[in-house]
């Protein structure tokens, strides 16, 4: 079963590791363990204050750089073009890598001049310091505005059975770009949901696995669940050996609080 999205002629792993709010040795050890288990998509941010530890985990894994898809995000205080370029250099230095696969605007702000901020990101792309530009926590209208400015490939948003993103997903499908779902397991709420547990029984899968599979089957979606235990890291990887029926996809899509 396919494990990658093809976006802008690049294969992006559908499953990634979210690293918020990990820090210190827990973060570097988890990143190394995840990569050694097969994870190739890693997500961090300046505001997580763990880019250094994520970089340490990458180096511990002894995995070739070009096998990894590394994402980080620029904080709201660094959206002015000159500050953004400097912030990207800082992230490269902390991660100890030569380029960032995907750099995101972490949050939009009222005083942000979107065109100028994105132009600064596109210049970094031309310089080879980032491979792709994207946004995070953008409304569908603002996501569309960003896409109209140039090669933006992603909007990373909170997306779970309890926080749907139909309108953002419609924009992503229209432009054939990607929604990355953060907090897809709703901070553990998914695992306690009787409805999701019941669906999982027929597939011999957990409620969490069913939820991640549902998100991927929507199309144009990648997922970055945070996991720090080996058990959860392994469980999250085991979502590519089954497929939900249309009926079960519909059931999950209709879940409300």
The CATH number covering residue 107 comes to 3.20.20.100
For range 218-222, the mean pLDDT: 98
CA distance 172 to 188: 27
For range 101-112, the mean pLDDT: 97
Q: Report yes or no on 58 lying in a domain.
A: yes
Q: Report yes or no on 116 lying in a domain.
A: yes
State both tokens at 164.
Answer: 């749907």
Give the per-residue pLDDT at 95. 98
Domain limits for position 32 = 4-186+220-242
Give the per-residue pLDDT at 256. 84
Give yes or no for residue 1 having a pLDDT over 80: no
Q: Tell me: the pLDDT tens digits for 45-82?
A: 999 999 999 999 999 999 999 999 999 999 999 999 99
For range 103-116, the mean pLDDT: 97
Q: Report yes or no on 238 lying in a domain.
A: yes
Q: Report yes or no on 9 lying in a domain.
A: yes
Q: Report yes or no on 19 lying in a domain.
A: yes
Q: Report yes or no on 94 lying in a domain.
A: yes
**CB 151 within 8 Å of CB 119:** no
Q: Report yes or no on 11 lying in a domain.
A: yes
- 87 confidence band (pLDDT: 50, 70, 90): very high
State both tokens at 174.
Answer: 């229209």
Task: Cite the active site residues.
Answer: 48
Q: Report yes or no on 215 lying in a domain.
A: no
Number of domains, the chain: 1
State both tokens at 232.
Answer: 């959860």
Give the per-residue pLDDT at 128. 98
> How much is the pTM?
0.97
Give yes or no for residue 257 having a pLDDT over 90: no
CA distance 105 to 107: 6
């Amino acid at each position: 079963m396919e494990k990658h999205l093809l976006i802008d002629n690049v294969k992006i792993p559908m499953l990634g590791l979210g690293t918020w709010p990990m820090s210190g040795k827990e973060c570097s050890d988890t990143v190394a363990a995840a990569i050694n288990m097969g994870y190739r998509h890693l997500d961090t941010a300046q505001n997580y204050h763990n880019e250094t530890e994520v970089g340490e985990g990458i180096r511990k894994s002894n995995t070739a750089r070009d096998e990894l898809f590394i994402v980080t995000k620029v904080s709201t205080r660094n959206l002015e073009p000159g500050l953004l370029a400097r912030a990207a250099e800082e992230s490269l230095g902390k991660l100890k890598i030569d380029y960032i696969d995907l750099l995101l605007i972490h949050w939009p702000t009222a005083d942000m001049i979107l065109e100028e901020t994105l132009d600064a990101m596109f210049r970094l792309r031309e310089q080879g310091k980032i491979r792709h530009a994207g946004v995070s926590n953008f409304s569908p209208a603002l996501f569309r505005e960003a896409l109209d400015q140039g090669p933006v490939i992603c909007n990373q948003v909170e997306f779970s059975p309890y926080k749907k993103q139909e309108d953002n997903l419609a924009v992503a499908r229209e432009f054939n770009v990607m929604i990355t779902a953060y907090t897809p397991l709703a901070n553990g709420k998914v695992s306690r949901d009787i409805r999701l547990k019941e669906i999982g029984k027929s597939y011999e899968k957990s409620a969490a696995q069913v939820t991640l599979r549902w998100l991927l089957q929507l199309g144009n979606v990648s997922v970055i669940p945070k996991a720090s235990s080996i058990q959860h890291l392994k469980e999250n990887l085991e979502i590519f050996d089954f497929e939900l029926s249309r009926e079960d996809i519909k059931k999950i899509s209709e879940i409300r609080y």
